[in-house]
Chain A
Amino acid sequence: MSTDFHIVVCGSIVPDPLQTLAPQDGPNGPVLQNEMMLPAVLDPWAGHALYEAADLAAKNPGSQVWLVALGPKAKLQQVMMAVSQKAPFQLVVADGSASGFEDSYETAKTLSDTIDGIAGLDKSKMLLFGGWQSASRGSGAVMQMVGELQGVTEQFQGVDKLTVTDSGLEILERVEGGSYQRSTVDGAPAVMGWATGELPEPPNNPQIGMQNMQKNMPALQQAKPADLSGSTLKFDGMEVPMQRRETRIVKDAPVEEMAKEIAEWIKG
């Protein structure tokens, strides 16, 4: 099996998870209040996929990594200044909305069309990486559709571990109850929708950052506008649940008393 993989990571930006988010009506459906002002980060699941891709490429000489991102290029540029220091990759940008309210199919189609435009990509060697979830739409559907549009039907979702063996790839996918399904496939092409993987976030490496941005700034400047308007998806409402609880604070009580109350509550 060839191990010089062409790894295409699909991932974009999301509002910083620590921000308070609220919807409002926009001209074409719901949008987030002050969306362009919200600080953004690389989607956590896309980040896991990118770091796993970089690790896999480093261990398999001849491999290459592309990060295909659909998002507003001004925000992408800000986020990529930080992400570029984490791992070497070639950025490919489709300039459009990264909103969680966009149709997952339109997003998948845009990503697939963008992948088709990557020069030098050998699809027989392609491993299509991305998050199996996201912190925006969270559909867990985009990677499957990108794969199908690319004709890649060997797919794995909720992946936490990918091992290259003599005969192919071994994959652990999350299933219910903290268990894994173990599968093998004879090699690329394949889709991996990553859960969290097993790697920590890499430390910043300014040298890698410099090399990345030399390549990636032109990619940002040359980004083509993405058209996501083909969907009939219509929202009839978008609400933040206003659930506030009356919290009883138990303070300055003996440990025994608090423990007794908790134990009785647990026993039901």
Chain B
Amino acid sequence: MSTVLYITHTECDGTLAKVSLETLTAAKNLAEGMGADLAVGLVGADVTAAANFIAGCGGKFYSVTGPVFNDGVYSIDLAAAEAIAKASEAEIVVAPATSRYSRALPGLAIRLDGRVDTHLSGLEAVDGKPVAKRWFYRQRMEGTLTREERPWILTLESGCAAAFEGAGSAELEEVAVDLSGVRTKPEGMVCVSEDEQTIRPDAETLFVTGAGWTKKQADGDVHVAEAEDIILQFLTSTKSSLGSSKSLVDISGEGGAVISFLTHMHQVGQTGSSPRHAKGLATCCHGEEPHVVGWRFVNERRAINTDAGCGWAQGKCDVLYVGDAFEIMKKVNELLG
């Protein structure tokens, strides 16, 4: 009988991320649909609590543990994944598309002489065979794909399945890993403080700023400092996540007035990220396809714009407020307290 290996890493506090629990549900369903055994591989400093939290999945548990496995170093994560995959003799390897495993797992395809497909938006068994879905050309089109090569390594994005629930008592088989050749040393995290943080992947709302915030306003002057105050006040009161259009981020390279706390990491769209949030509010953006791509996974969308004929009005958002974003957002901030 073939084996589907679900592999993940614990978070710093020893728990499993939501996307990891969702991926376990998808892997379990896939194993059942294929008539395959389920194996579970856990990597982290101490995985006991995480293993017990998902023990009800019914798989055979493998673990790689130790302080060195708490950090997301490519060569260390890959060595751990390789050891577990070989121990489990897996035909299919399913992992969450966390930033850590998105970096490390593709290399596993070469180590195992297999193939890899990443950032899946769906995974199921059809007639006993695995079938995957993923987006192409930056979320412009979605494809359904299969392949015969094995092992097949797959990483899943968040939202593909319900988070697994089923605690119990897991029996772990520890797998040894040789790290003697590793030259990379983790030196810690560079984190922004909670107050300064403006990228919040788990936030309810995505607030997108466009280049209009730095353009000349009705009085003929730019008001970047005022724009920064308005934006930050909104982010602080709502704990929203901040996104930006490419044009606004690029202004810094062109010597224009800039919003000081915006970086390329805020960029959404064709050349940025496509974050997942329940709500999205776009302000001063003037784009169509690149912005739509960035908003592919935002459910409720509203926009503030001075141009009623803007691309946003052409069926891209639910409500378009035609007006001055400075005035409207100042008032919104007052109302939100």
Contact = CB atoms under 8 A, between A and B. Distances in A.
Given A105-B115, A250-B320, A236 B103 contact: no
Interface stretch (A65-73, A87-95, A148-156, A220-228): A148-156
Interface in B109-127: 109-111, 115-119
Interface stretch (B52-60, B217-225, B263-271): B263-271
A164 B43 CA distance: 31
B75 A178 contact: no
Contact of A245 (B135, B304, B315): B315
Contacts of B185: 183-185
A100 B318 CA distance: 31
B238 interface: yes
Interface residues of A, number: 93
B35 interface: no
Contacts of A232: 147-149
Interface string B45-88: 00000000000000000000000000111110010000000000
A17 B321 contact: no
B187 interface: yes
Contact of A155 (B71, B103, B138, B265): B103
B69 to A, nearest CB: 14
Contacts of A153: 74-75, 78, 107, 181-182
Contact of A266 (B141, B205, B317): B205
Contact of B141 (A23, A180, A268): A23
Given A238-B141, A266-B336, A101 B78 contact: no
B183 A186 contact: yes
B136 A267 contact: no
Interface in B193-212: 197-201, 204-205
A18 B308 CA distance: 21
B118 A141 contact: yes
Contact of A249 (B74, B146, B279, B322): B322
Contacts of B137: 14-15, 21, 32, 100, 135-136, 138
A249 B320 contact: yes
Given A251-B308, A262-B281, A138 B75 contact: no
B290 interface: yes
Judged by DSSP, the binding face of A is mixed
A242 to B, nearest CB: 10
Contacts of B144: 235-238
A49 to B, nearest CB: 14
Contacts of A266: 205, 238, 279, 281, 332, 336
Nearest to A171: B184
Interface stretch (A77-85, A115-123, A194-202, A206-214): A194-202
A17 B290 contact: yes
B315 A179 contact: no
A233 interface: yes
A255 B323 contact: yes
A54 to B, nearest CB: 15
B192 interface: yes
A179 B192 contact: yes
A181 B100 CA distance: 10
Interface of B: 71-75, 78, 98-100, 102-104, 106-107, 109-111, 115-119, 131, 135-138, 140-149, 181-192, 197-201, 204-205, 238, 250, 252-254, 264-265, 267, 270-271, 279, 281, 289-290, 296, 300-302, 304, 308, 312-324, 327-329, 331-332, 334-336
30 contacts: A17-B289, A18-B289, A21-B141, A23-B143, A140-B119, A141-B117, A145-B106, A145-B110, A148-B111, A154-B74, A154-B183, A155-B107, A156-B74, A172-B190, A174-B99, A177-B200, A180-B191, A182-B190, A183-B184, A186-B183, A231-B115, A233-B146, A235-B143, A238-B143, A239-B143, A240-B141, A245-B301, A245-B317, A248-B319, A266-B332
Given A153-B182, A183-B184, A185-B183, 10 more contacts: A157-B103, A173-B103, A181-B71, A233-B147, A234-B146, A238-B144, A248-B318, A248-B319, A252-B322, A262-B304
